[in-house]
Structure 1
Amino acid sequence: MKGKLAQLDTVLYFAVFTPSPKNWWRVVALAFSKSGNGGLYILLALICAVFLEPLGQKFALTAVLAFAIERPLYFFLKKRIARVRPCDCFALKALLTPADKFSLPSGHSAGAWLYAICVIEHLSVPLWPLIIWASGVSLSRVVVGVHYPLDVVVGAMMGIGCASLAIFLVGIL
């Protein structure tokens, strides 16, 4: 089963990744990918905590707690699974240089979905733009060549799970 799943993941990877995408597709993918780097998360949480109290403070607390759960889990799984990135496996140049050498789970996907769920839970923001954004961040990681599809699916599930746990824990405080 493991071999078939890896084969399917590779086939899906090559269906999405192209070493020389059209310029507009590359720009869109890189923009989505960069938006998931984390700097915007901190800035938005700080702005919300200062200007939207007490709702913004609850959002910021939930997001910080969710990341405090997600980050150690992410680093543990990344090192434990040690899945080589597709750009290193197939000698194809990715559109950007990844921060580390392993691909499973996708930290960008985990962070984007974690943050989207926290925003949806605490702030009056429409659901669909956040789902489209988190999906775009996840898909972009395959498009730019640094993750397999399964990496981003596992990352998304991890982010949703960590956000849900944090929402529950903050709710019982």
Structure 2
Amino acid sequence: MKGKLAQLDTALYFAVFTPSPKHWWRIVALGLSKSGNGGLYVLLAIICAIFLEQLGQQFALTAVLAFALERPVYFYLKKRIARVRPCDCFSQKALLTPGDKFSLPSGHSAGAWLYATCLSEHIPILSIPLLIWATGVSLSRVVVGVHYPLDVVVGALMGIGCASLAIGLVGML
């Protein structure tokens, strides 16, 4: 990625990223980032499927289909684009160690927005807290130093897109 967009993305990264691990928003960001690791998604889907009966089962089916659509796209783009993470480009150390080498798209952002979109579709009263949480997960990935802002925006759009497609497909059943 070259030119003005890359310069803007890097400038935004340094505006959000704080190298001090004691800064309060990095501690909050680390917690938000970890909430998007994936285990919570599985647990909540199982709980919904058991306790919310048909609504919960439809949500779980939608989420599984959405992730089945999103994961191959994510892996393809991650390897194809091969954008080096900011923590590997600059002398700034990230607050956590990422699971892979490349940063675009952000899988945490994709997963959080996918999940928030699917759950909001089935339980609309949770929409605002879910959108705040997904935004927090996305922003946290920049704050802890493992993603550029564009990475999380692309991830969010990918997650919303895959969730919307899955919602439409499950709705046709």
Q: TM-score, normalised by structure 2?
A: 0.97
- What is the one-letter code of the residue matched to 1:104? L
Q: Name the structure 1 match of 2:100.
A: 100
Hey, what does 2:8 align to over in structure 1? Answer: 8
State the match for 1:156 in structure 2. Answer: 156
Equivalence map 1:40-119=2 (5 Å): 40-119=40-119
CA contact (8 A) 1:119 1:125 kept: no
Percent identity reads 83
List structure 1 runs of 4+ shifted beyond 3 angstroms: none
Report the residue type matching 2:116 in the other structure. Answer: A
Mapping of 1:122-137 within 5 angstroms?
122-137=122-137
Higher mean C-alpha deviation, range 25-34 or range 80-89 = 25-34
| Aligned: 1:166 with 2:166 | yes
Name structure 2 gaps, 5 residues minimum: none
**TM-score relative to the length of structure 1:** 0.97
Deviation at 1:31, TM superposition (A): 0.6
2:18, 2:26 within 8 Å by CA — same for their partners in 1? no
User: Aligned letter for 1:144?
Assistant: V
Deviation of residue 116 (structure 1)?
Answer: 0.2
Of 34-43 and 119-128, the range deviating more from structure 2: 119-128
What is the number of equivalent residue pairs in this alignment? 173
User: Do 1:13 and 1:142's aligned partners in 2 also have CA atoms closer than 8 Å?
Assistant: yes
Mark the runs of 5 or more structure 1 residues left unpaired by the alignment: none
Which whole-Å deviations, capped at 9, do the CAs of 1:84-140 have from their partners, x for residues lacking one?
000001121100000000000000000000000001001243321111100000000
Question: Counterparts of 1:51 and 1:67 in 2: how far apart (Å)?
Answer: 22
Q: Per the alignment, in what secondary structure is the counterpart of residue 147 of structure 1? A: coil
- The code of the aligned residue for 1:170 comes to V
Distance in 1, matches of 2:7 and 2:100, equals 23
Q: Secondary structure at the match of 1:54?
A: helix
